[in-house]
A and B are shown apart, each in its own frame.
Chain A
């Protein structure tokens, strides 16, 4: 599992039915179903417990994590940390492949650009925002007015608290909040196991269970050059879980579409998802082709290939939910029920009666724009991405904040600028290869006569354009980017850099496309989804949870088996099971399926010292989705008992609906982490710090 979906599509929205299933829900911390939890499990969290786990939880870029020691140790998944481990690796020291263990604090490696966030406060601004929009304002203007007001509030609050404030839309606009975060910017790599044990079973086993992944990595947060002492952290369990035990998960589910209207879901099933899958398949093919060029090329893009394969499997799983006729019938019935309630109420009819039709219409418009939206862009080029940011930041920064593109508003500008200055690995051959593929793909999809294709290629072959632009551009150098940024509008206007030149041609095209999207699609969907959400509150009350928004949520449920593969799937796996799967595929000698079930040498060497009966992974009934990766699994004592790293294949339809019979989260058992650190890696210092012994 992994992060939020790669491209945030435009669709999102209105909640169906009122009856939630037992363990359903990704709950916000202000609205926990404590009564329900208590009825089922005889215990429910109190405020102190909630504060403890909230302040212990962290947001990673695209994932989640938690503080697990007094001295600022942070636990997350290997696959959440992987991009960052890659960033501090080199050709000579491949920490992704070989793992990494800092023997002392001095050996901990600072990760440039990695920022972690703790959620310190949440404020409901719904009422204030509603006041900013007068009734009867057209959709387009209402959207703008709301955006302006939000930026204003954010800035106010940010100045007051010194925290990083983010606007959060819940219930499709039924509620608006400001979440304030403490941001940690000095984060260092402490420990990572080898990729091959973290991701044992590779793509075939991804999103499945029984599983044997040691999918964890450890970082440490520093402040002022010293290990940071968090106010709250999760103590490592002394006991561990057994089947039936209640677990909690705090993390950042990225995106669900459970409140989409039926029309949106149908569009996803018949059009949007197949189109996305096709594009992902092509992108994967390009990466794989590049990886075949050399072992070094393969090292460079392996993480990206993993990401795409992961995305393909996940998206295929989401899609399978939409093909589930029974589930779709339930969703249809729920929508009918709400629409009937709306129809019976004159006020609701006036506000919301047309909303479903409006959304359906906007979905059709989006469909018409889809091909261009997908293909008019930076064509897989990192440098063109930098160039676009430079062209836009320098054009936007002179405008008043509320007139800018939202990503460059006052609240966001600093981060956007800082991002341009961060050094990150750059490989010229890869850049040329990917840019060529991207341009070729766009030309094929849009046709040679499309203005974008003409502007980018100017009649020349894609390979020639890509090679010339990449080789002459200076934008791979962070200093060059910083200089242009500092020189502002004029420097960019005068720049002869070929990537800047391409960006200048691209900028007006994407702006115009974006405008169409905003005016004809996004504003309509936002407005009418909000109306449907409000109608839902009116009809059913706020007894439900909002769709996932990559903000902190809490899910709960027991360690439990489920039906699959013709039998019942065991709740736990063990170290013995890891070696069963290893040996059964013929081990490192056979390297079956591109070595999916091979093991690092360290595990072969230390095999005899391991206790085969100890739990390795487990399955539990928690409602999670991509973005929850790295979330701590917590018991009722508030202690860390596991680490979420995946959902089973049956959990993927969870993007659209929850099925408690088979939807399971998949976690690394806390006991497996400590046992491996101790026996395989001899990381006794780390074990002592984690277990406070």
Chain B
């Protein structure tokens, strides 16, 4: 692959911020870290961290003892903990400590993955493409080559191999994982202290979340002895100290064009925020009608508020002028570089304009695309799935809507058959609000609005459909799903009838979106990425791909939303301050967000209240990093990542050193709690050797 001269690179390389980057383990900026922090990472250190880190479904964890103990977040392990709970023993609510190995509870189906090694197969994948091949054929050739290589590799190594595309196609890798399938629950605190502060405190700081759980990996019925572990640091961190995080950041949008980010800032996110505000207002009106309505609506309101918090945090980042200026400058520099190279220019020169045109189409389709969806209305979602399932299952996989493809069908059916209860008053409220919004935004004369309302008011339509439907019953849904097309065609369930009205509109706009917007983003976004990779190579890090990455940055403050500087640490003392500041368990303010489990009150006097609880640090993280181990320069475990502050959510688009702060549970808080509250001194001994 051709690279520009070093000089050209210096001229146009976008300035990375001090602690920016989610770096792949083959390309850690060791020189930069050494220059800035005087810490030299060697190959053994990196290999140890890589092997000690494990992937959970949707998150991360780490080996922390020779006997296979794995630490992750409580919220990463929560599904597993719920799975092994029973009607008599609610381990999520009450917490759990296995007194001995015999009491450790196996979690059926839970699989962890350890990244053993990575193999660069770029050359071989690209070799599958012959000169003159059309783009579409080239894509297929690459995909086939990767698939073939994966099979060969798996057969050869016995590892689970996953193809990984980095730099939007600049590099192709096979990541080889060792898979663990016997995972047992060892210890978990009560949910109320793991997620202390509940939804209100989510994405914020100062924080007091004991967000950890311990599992143990077994192999052949014996505790697994991992090649690498992260020993618990007895000392923990100090303010200003450098930290590293290894984990699986899920998705970032940092390679979007300036036009796409401006759209997100000016149109996309404000539109979503406005819509969320309307939904929230509708639910608050429902809430005000009775205490029971309040209880039912609480979850949905919090869901909306959290979405609002995340999006408004993203907007904060995009709205900060310096951030988009930096994006614009980097883009201009890349364009200039492309213009100097005839081959690149002919392939990529027009791509920015093409993306911008697609953005204009995206904007034109935004309202219809939004309102013809099912939004947060669970019953309408189920109905639409049922309406489509019958049709789609008859088609070959490639011709189906993506959620019904062979690969996705299982998950779609699982969602349809979830036993999760539906709150009818909430659904009726949200459906009415959404129809009203469609009417206001699209106009009463719009064919979709006319089809859905049929001359009636949004409230009447919503009330009729929700009250008349029986789809809240999972058994009814199952029956309809199994009844196939005939059952659907003859169904008079009013929600099914409504979904049938919605279906063609939704299909039409989806197709338009795919043809005019997403395919252009994918094709031309890919070409821009190619140009970027050809220009800068691996001086940059790739967008997040839910594969193993390393971040670094010190424990440090930021200007938080109360008008002062956020303290780098919190302590046990602060946990009780926030508990009592809200009137404690007696007041149970905000649905008990700041209440504490009984034993945390009874045993308070045993605790060393000066022990650090949570801390903030400047590592570059996004969703997927939950449960990631935080380690010090010695490679010791000093904390577990569990959140990042809402002000830094703009990091999905642009890294901003002023606001990007991740939040972790301090290792000392874990040890103190295990010792003094959770009756787990034996685990402390295992973790610390003491």
> Beyond A574-B576, A612-B609, A613-B576, is A583–B571 a contact (Cβ under 8 Å)?
yes
In angstroms, Cα B589 to Cα A519, docked, is: 58
- For B581, what are the chain A residues with a Cβ–Cβ distance below 8 Å? 210, 570-574, 577
| Chain A residue at smallest Cβ distance from B313 | A566
CB distance from A662 to the nearest CB of B (A): 11
In angstroms, Cα B589 to Cα A571, docked, is: 11
A selection of 8 A-B contacts at a CB cut-off of 8 Å is A205-B564, A210-B581, A566-B309, A570-B594, A580-B567, A581-B574, A584-B574, A649-B563
Whether B562 pairs with A564 at a CB distance below 8 angstroms is: yes
- For A648, what are the chain B residues with a Cβ–Cβ distance below 8 Å? 562-563
Whether A584 pairs with B589 at a CB distance below 8 angstroms is: no
- For A612, what are the chain B residues with a Cβ–Cβ distance below 8 Å? 573, 576-577, 609
- For B564, what are the chain A residues with a Cβ–Cβ distance below 8 Å? 201, 204-205, 208
- For A590, what are the chain B residues with a Cβ–Cβ distance below 8 Å? 239
Contact with A along B629-652 (1 / 0, CB 8 A): 000000000000000011100000
In angstroms, Cα B564 to Cα A204, docked, is: 5
A207: interface (CB < 8 Å): yes
Stretch at the interface among B200-208, B271-279, B388-396, B427-435: B200-208
Whether B609 pairs with A581 at a CB distance below 8 angstroms is: no
CB distance from A137 to the nearest CB of B (A): 48
A609: interface (CB < 8 Å): no
- For A542, what are the chain B residues with a Cβ–Cβ distance below 8 Å? none
Whether A565 pairs with B576 at a CB distance below 8 angstroms is: no
Name which of B203, B561, B577 has the most chain A CB atoms within 10 A of its CB. B577
Which B residues, 219 to 243, have Cβ-Cβ distances below 8 Å to chain A?
Answer: 238-239
A365: interface (CB < 8 Å): no
Interface contact tally, CB-CB below 8 A: 117
In angstroms, Cα B239 to Cα A613, docked, is: 27
Whether A579 pairs with B610 at a CB distance below 8 angstroms is: yes
Contact with A along B574-612 (1 / 0, CB 8 A): 101110111100010110011000000000000001101
B126: interface (CB < 8 Å): no
8 closest cross-chain pairs (CB), A and B: A580-B574, A649-B563, A577-B577, A565-B561, A570-B581, A584-B567, A566-B204, A580-B573
A228: interface (CB < 8 Å): no
- For A205, what are the chain B residues with a Cβ–Cβ distance below 8 Å? 564
CB distance from A498 to the nearest CB of B (A): 46
A569: interface (CB < 8 Å): yes
Contact with A along B234-273 (1 / 0, CB 8 A): 0000110000000000000000000000000000000000
CB distance from B430 to the nearest CB of A (A): 23
In angstroms, Cα B208 to Cα A623, docked, is: 32
Name which of B206, B573, B646 has the most chain A CB atoms within 10 A of its CB. B573
Which A residues, 435 to 456, have Cβ-Cβ distances below 8 Å to chain B?
Answer: none
- For A613, what are the chain B residues with a Cβ–Cβ distance below 8 Å? 576, 580
In angstroms, Cα B206 to Cα A58, docked, is: 38
In angstroms, Cα B577 to Cα A571, docked, is: 11
Whether B646 pairs with A574 at a CB distance below 8 angstroms is: no
In angstroms, Cα B571 to Cα A586, docked, is: 11
A242: interface (CB < 8 Å): yes
Whether A570 pairs with B582 at a CB distance below 8 angstroms is: yes
Name which of B200, B561, B589, B593 has the most chain A CB atoms within 10 A of its CB. B561
Whether B200 pairs with A584 at a CB distance below 8 angstroms is: no
Number of residues in A with C-beta < 8 Å to the partner? 39
A243: interface (CB < 8 Å): yes
A568: interface (CB < 8 Å): yes
- For B560, what are the chain A residues with a Cβ–Cβ distance below 8 Å? 565
CB distance from B196 to the nearest CB of A (A): 12
Whether B563 pairs with A584 at a CB distance below 8 angstroms is: no
Name which of A209, A579, A593 has the most chain B CB atoms within 10 A of its CB. A579
In angstroms, Cα B197 to Cα A102, docked, is: 44
- For B646, what are the chain A residues with a Cβ–Cβ distance below 8 Å? 566
Which A residues, 541 to 593, have Cβ-Cβ distances below 8 Å to chain B?
Answer: 561, 564-574, 576-577, 579-581, 583-586, 590, 592-593
CB distance from A578 to the nearest CB of B (A): 8
Interface residues on B, range: 35 or more
Whether A567 pairs with B204 at a CB distance below 8 angstroms is: yes
In angstroms, Cα B578 to Cα A243, docked, is: 13
Contact with A along B176-211 (1 / 0, CB 8 A): 000000000000000000000100111110100000
Whether B589 pairs with A585 at a CB distance below 8 angstroms is: no
Which A residues, 629 to 662, have Cβ-Cβ distances below 8 Å to chain B?
Answer: 648-649
Whether B562 pairs with A584 at a CB distance below 8 angstroms is: no
Whether B612 pairs with A584 at a CB distance below 8 angstroms is: yes
B565: interface (CB < 8 Å): yes
Whether B239 pairs with A586 at a CB distance below 8 angstroms is: yes
CB distance from B506 to the nearest CB of A (A): 34
Whether A576 pairs with B577 at a CB distance below 8 angstroms is: yes
Whether A208 pairs with B562 at a CB distance below 8 angstroms is: yes
B587's partner among A210, A243, A576, A615 (CB-CB below 8 A) is: A243
CB distance from B646 to the nearest CB of A (A): 5
B552: interface (CB < 8 Å): no
A243's partner among B563, B571, B583 (CB-CB below 8 A) is: B583
B23: interface (CB < 8 Å): no
| Chain B residue at smallest Cβ distance from A566 | B204
| Chain A residue at smallest Cβ distance from B238 | A586
> Beyond A243-B587, A566-B646, is A583–B610 a contact (Cβ under 8 Å)?
yes
In angstroms, Cα B112 to Cα A562, docked, is: 42
A580's partner among B238, B561, B577, B645 (CB-CB below 8 A) is: B577
Whether B561 pairs with A576 at a CB distance below 8 angstroms is: no
B568: interface (CB < 8 Å): yes
* Further 12 A-B residue pairs, CB within 8 A, beyond A583-B612, A585-B567: A208-B564, A210-B562, A574-B576, A576-B576, A576-B609, A580-B571, A584-B567, A584-B571, A585-B239, A586-B238, A590-B239, A615-B580
- For A210, what are the chain B residues with a Cβ–Cβ distance below 8 Å? 562, 581
- For A242, what are the chain B residues with a Cβ–Cβ distance below 8 Å? 583, 587
Whether A579 pairs with B562 at a CB distance below 8 angstroms is: no
B535: interface (CB < 8 Å): no
B53: interface (CB < 8 Å): no
Whether B204 pairs with A561 at a CB distance below 8 angstroms is: no
In angstroms, Cα B200 to Cα A567, docked, is: 5
In angstroms, Cα B600 to Cα A497, docked, is: 73
In angstroms, Cα B647 to Cα A568, docked, is: 16
B569: interface (CB < 8 Å): yes
Contact with A along B541-575 (1 / 0, CB 8 A): 00000000000000000001111110111110110
CB distance from B415 to the nearest CB of A (A): 30
B573's partner among A204, A570, A577 (CB-CB below 8 A) is: A577
CB distance from B58 to the nearest CB of A (A): 23
Whether B239 pairs with A592 at a CB distance below 8 angstroms is: yes
Whether B570 pairs with A580 at a CB distance below 8 angstroms is: yes
CB distance from A439 to the nearest CB of B (A): 36
- For B576, what are the chain A residues with a Cβ–Cβ distance below 8 Å? 574, 576, 612-613
A649's partner among B562, B568, B583 (CB-CB below 8 A) is: B562
Whether A579 pairs with B565 at a CB distance below 8 angstroms is: no
Contact with B along A214-251 (1 / 0, CB 8 A): 00000000000000000000000000001100000000
- For B563, what are the chain A residues with a Cβ–Cβ distance below 8 Å? 207-208, 648-649
> Beyond A243-B583, A576-B577, A583-B573, is A569–B239 a contact (Cβ under 8 Å)?
no
In angstroms, Cα B590 to Cα A577, docked, is: 20
CB distance from B306 to the nearest CB of A (A): 10
- For A566, what are the chain B residues with a Cβ–Cβ distance below 8 Å? 203-204, 309, 313, 561, 645-647
- For B580, what are the chain A residues with a Cβ–Cβ distance below 8 Å? 572, 574, 576, 613, 615
B574's partner among A571, A576, A593, A649 (CB-CB below 8 A) is: A576
> Beyond A243-B589, A584-B612, A586-B238, is A573–B577 a contact (Cβ under 8 Å)?
yes
In angstroms, Cα B238 to Cα A590, docked, is: 10
CB distance from B266 to the nearest CB of A (A): 16
| Chain B residue at smallest Cβ distance from A586 | B239
- For B594, what are the chain A residues with a Cβ–Cβ distance below 8 Å? 570
- For A569, what are the chain B residues with a Cβ–Cβ distance below 8 Å? 562
CB distance from A278 to the nearest CB of B (A): 21
A568's partner among B200, B203, B574, B577 (CB-CB below 8 A) is: B200
In angstroms, Cα B567 to Cα A586, docked, is: 9
